[in-house]
Copies of this chain bind each other. A is one copy, B any other.
Amino acid sequence: MSLASINGQQRVVIEKITPQLDGGRFPIKTITNEIVNVEADVFADGHDYIAVRLFHKHQNDKKWHESPMRLIGNDRYVGSFQTIHQGSYQYAVEGWVDHLASWQHEIELKLKDRQYVNVELLVGAAQLDGLAKRASKEDKKGILEVAKIFRAPDRYDEATMLATSKQLADWGAQYPERQGAVRSAELGVVVDRARAQFSTWYSMFPRSAAKQEGQHGTFRDVIDLLPRIERMGFDVLYLPPIHPIGTKFRKGKNNNVNCQPDEPGVPYGIGSELGGHDAIHPDLGTLADFKALVAACHQHGMEIAMDLAIQCSPDHPWARDHKDWFKIRPDGSIQYAENPPKKYQDIYPVNFETPDWQALWLELKRVIFAWAEWGVRIIRVDNPHTKSFGFWEWLISETKAVYPDMIFLAEAFTRPKVMQQLAKLGYAQSYTYYTWRNTKAELTEYLTELTKTDMRHYYRPNFWPNTHDINPPVLQSGHEPAFITRFFMAATLSSNYGIFGPTYEYMVHDVFPGKEEYLNSEKYEIKHWDWEHTNKLTYIITQINKIRKENEALQLTNNLNFCGIDNDQLIAYLKTHANGNRILCVVNLDGNNRQAGVVNVPVHLIGKNPDQEYRVHDLLTGAQYVWRGGQGYVELDPNIVPFHLFRIEDIW
């Protein structure tokens, strides 16, 4: 180790800064107007006092903001800063040996021991001379005056008073020496807008929005449905791809390879002679119609989520103009999608190993920026895990540099590490395994992983009890309590959730044999719905969405804490907000039998003593009970309402 590469006078060590992802490789995530609490181990050799500061800076700030960090014990310091703006912040920790504070501490001990500290005062005077050089004009005068008193043998008593004064400490903190200061590496935070953390998704095929059966729905039809969707409490309207659909190898009803001439095809078979990812299916309307839909959504407090599926029908312009973006088979044809032994001749996957990857990336960026110009600020990405990680990191970073309000949702149902990586690379929200987590043990384990591990810092779950691709086993019976509880838990465990629209509301559940998919799936055919129809489930959805809007504890996910309950068919969880809002949910997972049990309420989390009374108020039914301390009895009949959504209220 060459001495030339070392600053031998640096004595401070900074370690274990939290939050921190993979040694700073990835930023953490938060939203605007949140507090980021930063902790670090900071220490020096010996017994000197140290000063520790937190630095932070928004991407547009020219200068760093600096604030003190305070010791919380065991050489660990804590500080915080607020994320005001969208975009990205950097933060870092700096520390140095605080000679003035050390000197003050030592002289205090010596004075208590009645030692004569004349030499120590001279040492202090020299320190003050240095301090004065960094001070404001006014303070400089004051500081030099104190130095003078330290040097005046006849003002000893005055000097010892000043030596231990708060004024001196304040000056030291304001004009620190920073000699041998050590600075940590810079860490990042991506700051999204609030909807990244709290959103309520409604998914529907716009072509099924027609008022008359047999007609192809349009964006104008969707506009007419917005009051209904808004009334139900949704704020994101997610549409599967709206682009022209290819005809070559087009799939028919129920994925039939023999497509009838009048069948509409699958929206994921993107591209025809009418255009690709930047074109709109003519039967849905024009670009003007789409822009009108975007505007109408805004008027209803909602916004559109587009679907980015990076794949092509054989008729897509890219398949003609950019054959080298695909794998070419030895016979010269483009390699269609496969999941051996299955073949999907209607889909060409893009080859991210293409030597022409730069042109491919730029074209995909062009598509995203075109959508952004149309007014789109949420993009649900289809199967992101089959496209290269590096591409996503670049694309999301490029997009957010211009559109910091853009939200990307990863529709990845794959292995845990892959899903986590996508979130680390920049996805603001992510699909989850919730769809298949049914038992109390499964739910508890999975939610604990999401909310108590590192994942809390970068992985924002979006819970879907069903999707247009997935008809999960738990719902295949069509049993109403299952639909209610699966919806309810999605909406209360996670602050982001969504449903595949009328299919869910009306409890459609016919199974394609041998698959977790819908029979007569809407992916392959146009449906017609009676949008006026209401039922118990639509009522509950509407009420719960309203309650979510009124209770901030339900607008967070990481504030989740499970409560013990002495019945394996009952699951109970508490969510608390810093503003005092406290929500306790209890769910009967048994769709057939009434279940009862005693909830263990963690009283310290609701600000109560073990012998204090409080009210639990069911915000759906209006029922109210008075509980005392850490235990509360519940009884839930799945055929009435299979859950309690209690707000915890103080009794005055």
> How many whole Å from A257's CB to the nearest CB in chain B?
15
Do residues B9 and A385 form an inter-chain contact, with CB atoms below 8 A? no
A418/B123 contact (C-beta < 8 A), A13-B389, A113-B341 known: no
Q: Across the interface, which residues of B come within 8 angstroms of A115, CB to CB?
A: 341
Do residues A1 and B110 form an inter-chain contact, with CB atoms below 8 A? no
Do residues B397 and A340 form an inter-chain contact, with CB atoms below 8 A? no
- Of B106, B123, B394, B421, the residue contacting A6 (CB under 8 A) is B394
Q: Bound state CA distance, A353 and B97, in angstroms?
A: 10
Taking CB as reference atom, which chain B residue is nearest A358? B3
Binds B, one of A40-48, A53-61, A141-149, A523-531: A40-48
- Of B45, B331, B393, the residue contacting A119 (CB under 8 A) is B331
Docked complex: A306-340 residues within 8 A CB-CB of B: 329-331, 338-340
Docked complex: A349-369 residues within 8 A CB-CB of B: 352-353, 355, 357-358, 361-362
A357/B23 contact (C-beta < 8 A), A75-B417, A122-B330 known: no
Q: Across the interface, which residues of B come within 8 angstroms of A397, CB to CB?
A: 1
Q: Bound state CA distance, A24 and B112, in angstroms?
A: 46
Q: Bound state CA distance, A393 and B330, in angstroms?
A: 59
Taking CB as reference atom, which chain B residue is nearest A109? B340
Do residues B358 and A416 form an inter-chain contact, with CB atoms below 8 A? no
Q: Bound state CA distance, A471 and B4, in angstroms?
A: 44
- Of B126, B357, B386, the residue contacting A8 (CB under 8 A) is B357
Interface residue? A415 (CB, 8 A)? yes
Do residues A353 and B180 form an inter-chain contact, with CB atoms below 8 A? yes
> How many whole Å from A10's CB to the nearest CB in chain B?
6
Q: Across the interface, which residues of B come within 8 angstroms of A389, CB to CB?
A: 11, 13, 45
> How many whole Å from A52's CB to the nearest CB in chain B?
13
Do residues B74 and A415 form an inter-chain contact, with CB atoms below 8 A? yes
Do residues B417 and A74 form an inter-chain contact, with CB atoms below 8 A? yes
Do residues B352 and A11 form an inter-chain contact, with CB atoms below 8 A? yes
Do residues A22 and B11 form an inter-chain contact, with CB atoms below 8 A? no
Interface residue? A388 (CB, 8 A)? yes
Interface residue? A594 (CB, 8 A)? no
- Of B3, B15, B340, B388, the residue contacting A106 (CB under 8 A) is B340
Q: Across the interface, which residues of B come within 8 angstroms of A24, CB to CB?
A: 23
Do residues B415 and A341 form an inter-chain contact, with CB atoms below 8 A? no
Do residues B13 and A75 form an inter-chain contact, with CB atoms below 8 A? no
Interface residue? A387 (CB, 8 A)? yes
Interface residue? A171 (CB, 8 A)? no
Interface residue? A513 (CB, 8 A)? no
> How many whole Å from A73's CB to the nearest CB in chain B?
10
Q: Bound state CA distance, A46 and B112, in angstroms?
A: 71
Q: Across the interface, which residues of B come within 8 angstroms of A15, CB to CB?
A: 22, 417, 421
Do residues B9 and A123 form an inter-chain contact, with CB atoms below 8 A? no
> How many whole Å from A45's CB to the nearest CB in chain B?
5
Docked complex: A27-84 residues within 8 A CB-CB of B: 41, 43, 45-47, 74-75
Q: Across the interface, which residues of B come within 8 angstroms of A10, CB to CB?
A: 388, 390
Q: Across the interface, which residues of B come within 8 angstroms of A23, CB to CB?
A: 22-24
Interface residue? A263 (CB, 8 A)? no
> How many whole Å from A71's CB to the nearest CB in chain B?
12
> How many whole Å from A168's CB to the nearest CB in chain B?
17
> How many whole Å from A650's CB to the nearest CB in chain B?
39
> How many whole Å from A598's CB to the nearest CB in chain B?
30
Q: Bound state CA distance, A390 and B12, in angstroms?
A: 9
Interface string of A122-152 (1 = CB under 8 A from B): 1100100000000000000000000000000
> How many whole Å from A224's CB to the nearest CB in chain B?
40
Q: Across the interface, which residues of B come within 8 angstroms of A358, CB to CB?
A: 3, 8
Q: Across the interface, which residues of B come within 8 angstroms of A179, CB to CB?
A: 353
Docked complex: A408-454 residues within 8 A CB-CB of B: 415-418, 421
Taking CB as reference atom, which chain B residue is nearest A341? B113
List 18 additional contacts besides A11-B388, A74-B416, A122-B330; criterion CB under 8 Å. Answer: A3-B361, A9-B357, A11-B390, A15-B417, A22-B23, A43-B421, A45-B352, A45-B418, A47-B339, A47-B386, A74-B415, A75-B415, A75-B417, A106-B340, A113-B340, A115-B341, A119-B330, A119-B331
Q: Could you show 30 A-B contacts with beta carbons less than 8 Å apart?
A: A1-B394, A3-B358, A3-B394, A6-B390, A6-B394, A8-B352, A8-B361, A8-B388, A9-B357, A11-B388, A15-B417, A15-B421, A22-B23, A23-B24, A41-B417, A43-B415, A43-B418, A45-B385, A45-B389, A47-B339, A74-B416, A74-B417, A97-B353, A105-B340, A106-B338, A109-B340, A119-B330, A123-B329, A123-B330, A179-B353
What are the 9 A-B residue pairs with the smallest beta carbon separation, nearest first?
A23-B23, A113-B341, A122-B330, A8-B357, A109-B340, A75-B417, A46-B386, A106-B340, A11-B388
